[in-house]
């Protein structure tokens, strides 16, 4: 069993309700135990800023699923919530986004999966919720979530409850 951290985000529809529902679905996956879920945070769009603000969260899971299989489950949940991935579209509006941010302290570099998430150490919208659930988790090559968060601008990222 390993601890995996998942980032959740949405900016279409009722994003807070979508994230709460997605967390419930994650908690019911076979081979997964929900350890903790963060507060919800309203965050400005990143990358493509001409879109509605996002709502972001994070969960820590204990799982016996290998990382690629866990990713398959995350993608299936996105589809269940109506997410359609457009080839070549990055940082656009979405009904639900689930990212495998950390998988224990492993570094995974596969065509379909990179862990830790390649931009995690730069993204306050991912680090702030992650700090709620796993502040001492190691981001390989960068330090703990808490330590990395100290150097990140989190202005405009506000808790909305959860």
Which sequence positions are flagged as catalytic?
Answer: 83, 94, 97, 99
Identify the helix (H) or strand (E) that includes residue 46.
Answer: none
Residue-level length of the chain: 162
- C-beta separation of 16 from 162 below 8 A: yes
- Paired residues of 7 in beta bridges: 58, 99
Six-digit token pair at 42? Answer: 């309203």
Nearest of 29, 44, 1 to residue 98 by alpha carbon: 29
């Amino acid at each position: 069993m390993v601890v995996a951290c998942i980032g959740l985000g949405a900016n279409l529809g009722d994003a807070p309700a979508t994230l709460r529902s997605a967390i419930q679905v994650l908690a019911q996956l076979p081979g997964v135990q929900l350890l903790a879920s963060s507060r919800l945070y309203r965050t400005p769009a990143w990358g493509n800023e001409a879109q509605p603000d996002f709502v972001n969260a994070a969960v820590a899971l204990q799982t016996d699923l290998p990382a690629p299989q866990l990713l398959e489950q995350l993608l299936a949940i996105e589809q269940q919530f109506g997410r359609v991935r457009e080839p070549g579209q990055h940082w656009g509006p979405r009904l639900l986004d689930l990212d495998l941010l950390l998988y224990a302290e492993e570094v995974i570099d596969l065509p379909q999966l990179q862990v830790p998430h390649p931009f995690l150490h730069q993204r306050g919208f991912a680090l702030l919720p992650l700090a709620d659930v796993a502040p001492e988790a190691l981001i390989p090559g960068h330090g703990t979530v808490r330590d990395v968060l100290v150097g990140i601008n989190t202005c405009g990222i506000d808790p909305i409850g959860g």
